[in-house]
A and B are shown apart, each in its own frame.
Chain A
Amino acid sequence: MSDKAKSIVSKKTSGQDERLKEVSKLRLLLNRPELGAVGGAILVFIFFGIVAGDTGMFSAYGTLNFLDVSANLGIIAIAAAMLMIGGEFDLSIGSMIGFAGICIAIPAIYWGWPLWVSIIFAFAMAVLVGYFNGILVVRTGLPSFIVTLAMLFILRGATLAITRLITGRTQVPGLRVLIENDPIAWMFATDTFKWLFTWLGSMNLIALRTDGTPLATGIPPSVIWFIAATLFATWILMKTRYGNWIFASGGDKNGATNVGVPVGRVKISLFIGTAVAATIFATIQVLDAGSADTMRGNLKELEAIAAAVVGGCLLTGGYGSAIGAAFGALIFGTVSMGIFYTDVDTDWFKVFLGAMMLIAVVFNNYIRKRVTESK
């Protein structure tokens, strides 16, 4: 290229680069990963407000009902979201729920362990499973999709085989009587803010049973865990060094390694996180139902990933938010319960679930393009 040509080109490009890019508040908001899920949740509430506003769905009892379902899913969705931001998948979440359930029930019922020891045992097993998943993915460099798919089958199979071997059945009932006076179980089995509901009932503000006690007795433990998990995960992602490492590990593994981020340890800890979240889910459900079932948590891993994706997590990692996953879970929980209050056949729920995911992925793809490509 001649010098003359060079000077012309350089003039042209410099003129382009020096123009001002106006970034409005709205545009910044549009770049947030959780935007889609928050917007979706608002739409869902408007929809059910119109269609089912007078059916009792939004009574205290109805609200707690769909919040409980959302919260349970939310606990695992948030952990799944953090792992996805870190660049990996965990398909063994659902199987881990079943496995954790029998880790609590069999020692407590058949071996005579105190319930709290069984619960701690289940969490210890979760840390082991998570660590194993993590170390396998990090060491072999295999896609976590494959490694945890294998773990999905292994854990579910082991759960079934061990339970049948020890108990001769696939269900382990009889836990309810053990909850009382247990030093730990209350954390997973107690409704809170009962006084508030009693007061609301006495003021005739919420529906009562025939004996005068309120129909909704308190905030279920799942909701408390869910809120705590959302706050904790958001704090980690936004405010801590470890949070920055999670984004870095998922965004560019090699780059992160080059600047000194311990990518392997970050990923292993996130796998432990999903297994522990699955165990929180399992403990709440097992204590609520009073029994463990080998099929508990079946397909929950996919719902958790779906909620995380609707919440703005990219399948390729490095982008997403815990708040988004929480709203994703809220959407699924609300629709799965709300559909009972409408005339729509509940068979259509999964159609909605799939459609929602598709829309979310297309939307998120668009967001990523906006964020990563210079204008």
Chain B
Amino acid sequence: MSENLIEFNNISKFFGKVIALKDVTMKLKKGEIMCLLGDNGAGKSTLIKTLAGVHKPDEGEIVIEGEKTVFDSPKDALDMGIGTVYQDLALVPLMSVTRNFFMGREPLKGPPFLKTFDIEKANQIAAERMGQIGIDVRDPSQAVGTMSGGERQCLAISRAIYFGAKVLVLDEPTSALGVHQASMVLKYVVKAASQGLAVILITHNVHHAYPVGNSFTVLNRGKSLGTFNKKDISREELLGMMAGGEELDKLEVELEEMNRINN
């Protein structure tokens, strides 16, 4: 099935005796949003770092557009079109929108050896790109620190897309955001997918994942509990699977008990 844009087949990763990931398989088509769900310690971070080329998988293979690929470094992954947006976003609050957007990949102009940062072009592209998301950057030289959390997240995603990401890996893009901000980010993610990108959205928040995801992979203690299409699973079922349903049931019983005592 080479119509998949990217496949991760039976990926395992061990750290000494610890099995961080075991036999995780994910397949994504263009325009698909897969939500990777898991509680803390489920192996989400290890999986992200494997996707981003930071870790090499100990078992399994990565297939991009039908070709088997090995990432030797994060740069390899980037060159193959895997754009990872980490939780810290790699944005500098004191720097301007433009300077952040092109950080490390500044457009240049001028003669050799005297090349300068083409700030006009950069400003124009940055403003244009932010405008496409619906963030009106009146002044692209304003500091990123003045932007809201959602706007920053969108800026980081937009940057990854601009620099050639075909597969977006988003690490907890909504975790620190309020409802409105989160919905702004999720809207943008949906829009990016509709333009042909594959998106892997990593989150522990089912409420954010469920409305936008096409499929859901649940990680628990390093193992995939399977991938489910949206029509096959409900929000509650996902939630139960993620946290281990029993635990939530137990919590409910305990809370009821407390209420009874308090009253």
**B-side contacts of A10, CB under 8 Å:** 179-180, 183
> What is the chain B residue whose CB lies nearest that of A85?
B94
**Does A256 touch B at the CB level, under 8 Å?**
yes
Query: Are B146 and A245 interface neighbours, CB within 8 A?
Result: no
Query: Are A244 and B94 interface neighbours, CB within 8 A?
Result: no
Query: Are A13 and B99 interface neighbours, CB within 8 A?
Result: no
Given contacts A244-B106, A255-B88, A374-B148, contact A260 B75 (CB under 8 A): yes
Query: Are A13 and B180 interface neighbours, CB within 8 A?
Result: yes
**Does B138 touch A at the CB level, under 8 Å?**
yes
Stretch of A133-141, A210-218, A246-254, A295-303 that contacts chain B: A246-254
**Does A344 touch B at the CB level, under 8 Å?**
no
CB contacts under 8 Å to A, within B172-187, are 178-181, 183
Closest Cβ–Cβ distance, residue A230 to chain B (whole Å): 18
> What is the chain B residue whose CB lies nearest that of A253?
B92
**Complex partner residue of B146 from A241, A244, A373, CB under 8 angstroms:** A373
**Complex partner residue of A374 from B103, B115, B146, CB under 8 angstroms:** B146
Query: Are A241 and B108 interface neighbours, CB within 8 A?
Result: yes
Contact with A along B103-131 (1 / 0, CB 8 A): 11110100000011101000000000000
CB contacts under 8 Å to B, within A6-48, are 6, 9-10, 13-14, 17, 23, 28, 31
Query: Are B117 and A368 interface neighbours, CB within 8 A?
Result: no
Query: Are A239 and B119 interface neighbours, CB within 8 A?
Result: yes
CB contacts under 8 Å to B, within A229-264, are 238-241, 243-245, 247-248, 251-252, 254-256, 258-261
Query: Are B145 and A318 interface neighbours, CB within 8 A?
Result: no
Contact with A along B126-149 (1 / 0, CB 8 A): 000000000000110011011110
**Does A372 touch B at the CB level, under 8 Å?**
yes
| A259 to B91 alpha-carbon distance, docked (Å) | 9
**Complex partner residue of B145 from A17, A239, A244, A371, CB under 8 angstroms:** A371
> What is the chain B residue whose CB lies nearest that of A241?
B106
**Complex partner residue of A255 from B91, B99, B117, B178, CB under 8 angstroms:** B91
Query: Are B104 and A261 interface neighbours, CB within 8 A?
Result: yes
Query: Are B179 and A244 interface neighbours, CB within 8 A?
Result: no
**A-side contacts of B102, CB under 8 Å:** 244
The range of chain B's interface size is: 35 or more
Given contacts A240-B117, A260-B105, contact A13 B94 (CB under 8 A): no
What secondary structure prevails in chain B residues at the interface with A? loop
> What is the chain A residue whose CB lies nearest that of B139?
A23
Query: Are A239 and B116 interface neighbours, CB within 8 A?
Result: yes
Given contacts A10-B180, A247-B94, A252-B92, contact A240 B145 (CB under 8 A): no
**Does B190 touch A at the CB level, under 8 Å?**
no
**A-side contacts of B241, CB under 8 Å:** none
The range of chain A's interface size is: 35 or more
Query: Are A239 and B117 interface neighbours, CB within 8 A?
Result: yes
Query: Are A318 and B180 interface neighbours, CB within 8 A?
Result: no
| A239 to B109 alpha-carbon distance, docked (Å) | 10
Query: Are A259 and B89 interface neighbours, CB within 8 A?
Result: no
| A17 to B146 alpha-carbon distance, docked (Å) | 13
> What is the chain A residue whose CB lies nearest that of B74?
A258
**Complex partner residue of A261 from B103, B116, B178, B179, CB under 8 angstroms:** B103
**Complex partner residue of B180 from A17, A245, A371, CB under 8 angstroms:** A17
**Does B258 touch A at the CB level, under 8 Å?**
no
**Does A319 touch B at the CB level, under 8 Å?**
yes
CB contacts under 8 Å to B, within A187-239, are 238-239
| A35 to B216 alpha-carbon distance, docked (Å) | 53
Query: Are B117 and A244 interface neighbours, CB within 8 A?
Result: yes
Query: Are B104 and A256 interface neighbours, CB within 8 A?
Result: yes
Query: Are A374 and B117 interface neighbours, CB within 8 A?
Result: no
**Does B86 touch A at the CB level, under 8 Å?**
yes
**Complex partner residue of B93 from A244, A251, A258, CB under 8 angstroms:** A251
Query: Are A318 and B92 interface neighbours, CB within 8 A?
Result: yes
| A245 to B139 alpha-carbon distance, docked (Å) | 21
**Does B95 touch A at the CB level, under 8 Å?**
yes
Given contacts A239-B116, A260-B75, contact A373 B145 (CB under 8 A): yes
| A179 to B146 alpha-carbon distance, docked (Å) | 55
Closest Cβ–Cβ distance, residue A242 to chain B (whole Å): 9
> What is the chain A residue whose CB lies nearest that of B163?
A259
**Does A375 touch B at the CB level, under 8 Å?**
yes
Query: Are A251 and B94 interface neighbours, CB within 8 A?
Result: yes
Query: Are A258 and B90 interface neighbours, CB within 8 A?
Result: yes
Known: A241-B117, A314-B94, A373-B146. 14 other contacts (CB 8 A): A9-B178, A17-B148, A23-B142, A28-B139, A238-B119, A243-B117, A255-B91, A255-B92, A258-B90, A259-B103, A260-B75, A371-B143, A373-B145, A374-B145
List 22 interface pairs A-B (beta carbons < 8 Å), by A numbering: A13-B180, A17-B148, A28-B139, A239-B119, A240-B117, A241-B106, A243-B117, A244-B99, A247-B94, A251-B94, A255-B88, A256-B90, A256-B104, A258-B86, A259-B105, A261-B104, A371-B145, A371-B146, A372-B93, A372-B94, A372-B146, A374-B148
**What 5 A-B pairs have minimum CB-CB distances, sorted nearest first?**
A372-B145, A251-B92, A255-B90, A13-B180, A260-B104
